[in-house]
Amino acid sequence: MSRRVDAAGAAELLRGLKEVGVLIHRRPDGDAVGSAFALRQALGALGIRCRVLCPDPIPEKFSFLAGGGEEEFQPLCYVAVDLASAGMAGEFEQRAKGCLLCVDHHLSNEQYAENLLLDPQAASCCELLLPVIKAMGVPLTPFIATALYTGAATDTGCFLFRNTTAATHLAAAELMAAGADAALVNQRFFEQKSRSRLALELMVYESLEFYLGGRVAVATITEDMIKRSGATAGDLEGINGLARGIEGVEVGVTLREGPGGVCRASLRSNRVDSSAVCRVFGGGGHQGAAGFECTGEFADIKALLLRELEKRL
Amino acid sequence: MSRRVDAAGAAELLRGLKEVGVLIHRRPDGDAVGSAFALRQALGALGIRCRVLCPDPIPEKFSFLAGGGEEEFQPLCYVAVDLASAGMAGEFEQRAKGCLLCVDHHLSNEQYAENLLLDPQAASCCELLLPVIKAMGVPLTPFIATALYTGAATDTGCFLFRNTTAATHLAAAELMAAGADAALVNQRFFEQKSRSRLALELMVYESLEFYLGGRVAVATITEDMIKRSGATAGDLEGINGLARGIEGVEVGVTLREGPGGVCRASLRSNRVDSSAVCRVFGGGGHQGAAGFECTGEFADIKALLLRELEKRL
């Protein structure tokens, strides 16, 4: 069990450091990257040597935060941001275990750190980090503000998802006033889609089938569709959410053809427990979003899934 | 020329009324409807008789604001919200001319009202109306907060567009704290789309043509497309933003066929001054979003527009 600290307590711990490695989770998203690089600059402003350690490469789309590379050194001390479990730090798992401090907003945080600032009400780790950085006595530079805005915006689908609270908007207001380049972040993550993504979306929409009175929508994504659209790995991000985005749809199902005839099924719902449904097929996930993999004809998988959904709707 | 007033001045004028008709623009959007019905409830709280007058029916998707119908009476006095010109009040144009007060955020406001609260920096009229309602001494009820949130969210594409400022987020924070049902508004306007909207979007995407090296995208919406998709007035909201949402596109143009062979052109851009371009064709609007109406062949209008855009890109 971690000792719980508040923003002032976390700031005090951070101010006392000489050098530190900041740990984030594998397959890093906007909140992880934004948190880590905001913190790195804040620590740097206090003369604290700092490097960010992530088990996976930081995706190109975060180059405006992570550019410039990392100083190579072996830190004496570690802190973790947006990291729910030590295992998600991948090769840095042992550094995460018992690290000095973790700042996180996941209810499922496994309390692997010595000290923990946890607020599951915070929509993003960046939202939670803002008062910490202020308590460190570091001025909110445009870079720090942009980094924190990145997490605040991406973890809420640009202030759309239900985790968005008044506090989220207050933080966004403060960050924009401090010079956050919201236009750059929004453009990169929300305003525009690539032509290949659009081409794929159109095919996915064309593939939609509606069942159970329109309450279930099933989208199909074949390897051929991905090839014809020219979609990259980045273009596939969030594609499983399309089926759920149609009025009246309570369960969005996406069946995606993988290599070797594998079918990757994904469920999205606010009505049924997606995780429970997917466990029936040997998969799992969260209540709102879950998945499983199997082999077989798509038509058969669909029929089995619909039978399972009919019981629960 | 209107006499300029601030929020306190506007509130004082409103508090002095006995009965009033609130005028909004034709083809009302979330900002117009949100502003009008927030103001109606605020006036009602002060015992002021009020009705909303719109030349077009209020779309069904605003039923959570506009439900319950209007009291039928001939008001002694008129105020306008989100109404840039008297002409946009349609059949109520004469009532708009010289009306007591206009609260608006359009730079192009034609100053037709006796008193004017104008702030082109405000992302929405609702954002601008919030301090007015507070200055009226009316408590921010959940209904008023939801109505104002509707305009704040819909006029910014859920805090995405570049008109979003720190003040916009501050207003959203205050409205959510006051009980705005952001989940209801976001679900209705951003999370899910109707099947008819989807059908129309697919046709609009299919219609896209790219010019000037992909920097300009032109979408075409015909009356036949609207008919075939089954799109309602509500389904058309924001449809003019699709063309701009493709990677590399700096100007999104939408040409929409109106009744009687009229062409309604809409421009969206962060690169050129949309309003300046549209003024060339007798229209107007904001820097990022503007429009004009004309008659003629779509191909000719497109050619003229592209020539104008080429000069500026």
CATH of the domain at B281: 3.10.310.30
Query: Does B164 share its domain with B81?
Result: yes
Instruction: Give B286 or A280, the one with higher predicted confidence.
Output: A280
Report H helices in B178-297.
Answer: 182-186, 195-207, 223-229, 274-280
Say if residue A108's pLDDT is above 90: no
A158/B160 Cβ within 8 A: yes
Contacts B230 to A, Cβ<8 Å? none
**Angle B24-B28-B31 from CA coordinates, rounded to 5°:** 80
The per-residue pLDDT for range B77-87, each reduced to its tens digit, is 999 999 999 99
**Residue B296 to residues A289, B264, B268, B308: CA-CA distances in angstroms?**
50, 11, 21, 17
CB atoms within 10 A of CB B41: 16
Taking residues A80-100, report their average pLDDT.
96
Q: Residue B245: which of A176, A177, A192 has the nearest Cβ?
A: A192
A182/B164 Cβ within 8 A: yes
Residues in chain B whose beta carbon is closer than 8 A to a beta carbon of chain A? 158-160, 162, 164-170, 172-174, 176-177, 182-183, 186, 190-195, 197-198, 202, 205-206, 244-249, 270
Q: Give the residue on B whose Cα is nearest the Cα of A183.
A: B162
Where in chain A does DSSP place strands (E)?
3-4, 19-23, 49-53, 78-81, 101-104, 115-118, 209-211, 216-221, 251-257, 262-269, 284-285, 289-295
Please list the helix, strand and coil fractions of chain A in percent, rounded to the nearest 5, in that order.
45, 20, 35
Nearest to B211 by CA among B241, B239, B246, B240: B246
Q: Residue B173: which of A173, A186, A246 has the nearest Cβ?
A: A173
What's the CA gap between B17 and B136, in Å, rounded?
Answer: 12
Say if residue A70's pLDDT is above 80: no
- Domain limits at B284? 195-312
Task: Check residue A261 and give its pLDDT.
Answer: 84
Query: Does B239 share its domain with B155?
Result: no
- What's the complex ipTM? 0.86
B198/A183 Cβ within 8 A: no
A172/B159 Cβ within 8 A: yes
What's the CA gap between A306 and A46, in Å, rounded?
Answer: 57
Q: Are B33 and B62 in contact (CB under 8 A)?
A: yes
Query: Does A71 share its domain with A182?
Result: yes
For residue A51, the cross-strand partners are A21
What's the CA gap between B105 and B88, in Å, rounded?
Answer: 15
**Angle A122-B180-B192 from CA coordinates, rounded to 5°:** 80
Q: Residue B195: which of A176, A177, A246 has the nearest Cβ?
A: A246
Query: Does B228 share its domain with B115?
Result: no
A247/B186 Cβ within 8 A: no
Residue to substitute from A161, A162, A247, A269, interface B, most B β-carbons within 10 A: A247
What's the CA gap between A253 and B14, in Å, rounded?
Answer: 52
Q: Are A118 and A6 in contact (CB under 8 A)?
A: no
Query: Does B171 share its domain with B281?
Result: no
Report the number of distinct structural domains present in chain B.
2
- For all residues of chain A together, what is the average pLDDT? 94
Q: Are B133 and B151 in contact (CB under 8 A)?
A: no
Helix or strand run (H / E) with residue B310: helix B298-312
Q: Residue B202: which of A193, A205, A249 has the nearest Cβ?
A: A205
Query: Does B280 share its domain with B155?
Result: no
The per-residue pLDDT for range A242-289, each reduced to its tens digit, is 999 999 999 999 999 988 889 999 999 988 999 899 999 998 877 778
Residue to substitute from B191, B210, B215, interface A, most A β-carbons within 10 A: B191
The per-residue pLDDT for range B119-160, each reduced to its tens digit, is 999 999 999 999 999 999 999 999 999 999 999 999 999 999
Residue A19 makes CB contacts below 8 A (sequence gap 6+) with: A48, A49, A50, A73, A75, A76, A77
Q: Which of A126, A159, A190 is the last residue of a domain?
A: A190
CATH number at residue A75: 3.90.1640.10
Taking residues A70-77, report their average pLDDT.
87
Sign of CA dihedral B286, B287, B290, B294: positive
Q: Which of A164, A190, A216 is the last residue of a domain?
A: A190
Q: Give the residue on B whose Cα is nearest the Cα of A176.
A: B166
Residues in chain A whose beta carbon is closer than 8 A to a beta carbon of chain B? 158-160, 162, 164-170, 172-174, 176-177, 182-183, 186, 190-195, 198, 202, 205-206, 214, 244-249
* CB pairs < 8 Å spanning A and B: 95
The length of chain A, given as a count of residues: 313
Q: Residue B246: which of A165, A195, A205 has the nearest Cβ?
A: A195
Q: Which of B142, B167, B190 is the last residue of a domain?
A: B190
Contacts B186 to A, Cβ<8 Å? 160, 162
Taking residues B254-269, report their average pLDDT.
93
Contacts B176 to A, Cβ<8 Å? 164-166, 169
Q: Residue B183: which of A162, A174, A194 has the nearest Cβ?
A: A162
Q: Give the residue on A whose Cα is nearest the Cα of B249.
A: A192
Percent of chain A with pLDDT over 90: 84
A262-271, B65-74, B210-219 — which one is most confidently predicted on average? B210-219
What's the CA gap between A284 and A251, in Å, rounded?
Answer: 16
Task: Check residue B5 and give its pLDDT.
Answer: 98
A160/B158 Cβ within 8 A: yes
Nearest to A263 by CA among A221, A309, A211: A221
Q: Is B161 exposed, middle or buried, given 0-12, 13-18 or 19+ CB atoms closer than 10 A?
A: buried
Angle B30-45/B125-135 helices, nearest 10 degrees?
10
Say if residue A233's pLDDT is above 80: no
Query: What is the distance in angstroms between the Cα of B60 and the nearest Cα belonging to chain A?
Result: 14
Q: Are B163 and B274 in contact (CB under 8 A)?
A: no
Q: Are A251 and A305 in contact (CB under 8 A)?
A: no
Cα torsion A223, A224, A227, A232 to 10°: value is -30
Question: Is residue A225 very low, low, confident or very high in pLDDT (cuts 50, 70, 90)?
Answer: very high
Nearest to B267 by CA among B292, B249, B245, B248: B292
How are strands ordered across the β-sheet holding B78-81? Answer: B3-4, B115-118, B101-104, B78-81, B19-23, B49-53
Query: Does B101 share its domain with B150?
Result: yes
A3 phi, psi to nearest 5 deg? -80, 130
Task: Check residue A142 and give its pLDDT.
Answer: 98
- For all residues of chain B together, what is the average pLDDT? 95
Task: Check residue A289 and give its pLDDT.
Answer: 81
Query: Does B31 share its domain with B148?
Result: yes
Instruction: Give B235 or B278, the one with higher predicted confidence.
Output: B278
Nearest to B29 by CA among B289, B263, B237, B241: B237
Contacts B244 to A, Cβ<8 Å? 191-192
B159/A159 Cβ within 8 A: yes
Query: Does A262 share its domain with A129?
Result: no
Task: Check residue A284 and give its pLDDT.
Answer: 82
CB atoms within 10 A of CB A8: 14
Contacts B172 to A, Cβ<8 Å? 159, 166, 169
Question: Is residue A216 very low, low, confident or very high in pLDDT (cuts 50, 70, 90)?
Answer: very high
Question: Is residue A88 very low, low, confident or very high in pLDDT (cuts 50, 70, 90)?
Answer: very high
B208 phi, psi to nearest 5 deg? -60, 135
Say if residue B191's pLDDT is above 90: no
Contacts A176 to B, Cβ<8 Å? 164-166, 169
Q: Residue B169: which of A172, A186, A191 has the nearest Cβ?
A: A172
Q: Residue A159: which of B158, B198, B247 has the nearest Cβ?
A: B158
Helix (H, G, I), strand (E, B) or coil at B46: coil
A167/B195 Cβ within 8 A: no
Query: Does A246 share its domain with A176?
Result: no
CA A63 to mean position of chain CA atoms: 17
The per-residue pLDDT for range A116-163, each reduced to its tens digit, is 999 999 999 999 999 999 999 999 999 999 999 999 999 999 999 888
Contacts B188 to A, Cβ<8 Å? none
Query: Does A36 share its domain with A163?
Result: yes
The per-residue pLDDT for range A278-308, each reduced to its tens digit, is 999 998 877 778 899 999 999 999 999 999 9
Taking residues A10-35, report their average pLDDT.
96
Query: Does B251 share its domain with B109?
Result: no
The per-residue pLDDT for range B2-35, each reduced to its tens digit, is 999 999 999 999 999 999 999 999 999 999 999 9
Q: How does DSSP assign A25-84, residue by residue?
A: -SS--HHHHHHHHHHHHHHHHTT-EEEEE-SSPPPGGGHHHHTT-------S-EEEES-S
Contacts A165 to B, Cβ<8 Å? 176
Taking residues A33-40, report their average pLDDT.
98
